[in-house]
Every structure is written in C-alpha cells, then in structure tokens.
Amino acid sequence: MYAETPLIPQNNKSYSLLQERRIKDFNLLKDRGQLESELNGLAFRGFDLRGLDASGLDLSNCKFKQADLRGINFSNTNLHGASLYGAKISGCLFPKELSAPEILMSVTHGTRLRYS
C-alpha cells in the first residue's frame, strides 16, 4: 500500500543535495558509495533533477509532481509505485518492463507506475 503523503525528510544528505540542485555532487558521492541509494517514498515536487545518475537508486513510491526529469536514464532504477504527474520526461529511458501507456497515465493523471 502506498503512503498518501510523500515524505519530505529532515537530515537526509541525499535528499538535501537533490533539493539544492547539487546533482554533480550527488552523483560524485553516489559513485564513491557515500550516499544512500534508497530514497523511496519521498516527495520530489518541482525538483530539477536533470543530469541525475539514477542507476541503482530505489525511487519506489516517490512523487515527481511537476519535476524536470528530462534525459535521465531510469532503466536500472526501481520506480515501482512512483508518480510522474506533470513531470517533464523528454529523453528519459525507463525500465523496459514499463509500458508507454503506463508512463503516459502517470504523467497525465498521476497514477502510480506498475510493472513486473
């Protein structure tokens, strides 16, 4: 079951870097293994995440309402239950199990992504 209200964490270094649009710093620390890869259930409303290295991240149950996700490769990212309502997704690569209609429903109506 999905939490109705996504979390906005306090004292989460990974989230803070993304919130402050310090994507290069996030990617560098992630590559060094100095950040948590689990960001599940968080609110990324209106975030500009262009340039994010999403490989291996757990973004399940996150809400990306009106976020800028253009060009992100999500092919190796856990997006189960995430919502993309109003997000900019041009140039994104999604997991191959995720169908185009499923993505479109999430972007236009905010439905949660379901795939196996």
Query: What pLDDT is stored for residue 37 in this prediction?
Result: 72
> Residue 40's closest CA among 73, 15, 16?
15
Query: What pLDDT is stored for residue 6 in this prediction?
Result: 59
Query: pLDDT confidence of 5, banded at 50, 70, 90?
Result: low
Backbone angles phi, psi at 7, to 5 degrees: -80, 145
How many whole angstroms separate alpha carbon 7 and alpha carbon 75? 24
pTM attached to this predicted model: 0.90
pLDDT digit string (tens) for 42-52? 999 999 999 99
Task: Count Cβ atoms within 10 A of the Cβ of residue 20 and give its class: 0-12 exposed, 13-18 middle, 19 or more buried.
Answer: exposed
Q: State yes or no: pLDDT of 2 exceeds 70.
A: no
